[in-house]
Amino acid sequence: LIKITEDMLSGMVFELFGQHKIVFNKYGGEDRDASGHEAVEIDFAPPYRRISMIAELERILEVSFPADLASDEANEFLRTLCAARKVRCSPPLTTARLLDKLVGEYIEPTCVNPTFICDHPQIMSPLAKWHRTSPSLTERFELMVCGRELCNAYTELNDPLEQRSRFLDQVKDR
């Protein structure tokens, strides 16, 4: 699915602009808008960067996350980490929300050129099937461009008992 998405987007950009590189200003205008925001060059030529969510957060923040992200220990670790980094998160302070805030603060802004954020923890993805090689993760990706999400895709969980269990876990966190 990643390859299909990459081929579709790069092909579309090439068809529209005759090249894979475009200049974009998310605030409007071409090179610089009235407020002084500069345009950026985005290269849609494949292959796109692929990063593993937790591994990238650990690298950027220079920390090691607890192995069990569904644990109370992991939630306390993330609360402390967000507080120390002054990353605000409104209640409820669930592990999924705290992780999402960290990703939004530290990973998404680095994704100017197309980037796949992969390997989301199960705790963030109740409808996604578990990862084939790492059961605590899911087969899910988000495609980011210029700090914005263009695509969110996952292998759908089709086990109704497992779906129920995950939904009950989410309700418990509210």
**How much is the pTM?**
0.87
**CA nearest neighbour of 103 among 131, 78, 133:** 78
**CA nearest neighbour of 155 among 130, 172, 174:** 130
- Rounded to whole angstroms, the Cα distance separating 107 from 144 reads 10
Tokens of 80: 């402390």
> pLDDT at position 116, please?
98
**65 φψ region: left (φ > 0), alpha (ψ -120 to 50), beta (else):** beta
The predicted-structure confidence for 45-102, as pLDDT tens digits, reads as follows 999 999 999 999 999 999 999 999 999 999 999 999 999 999 999 999 999 999 999 9
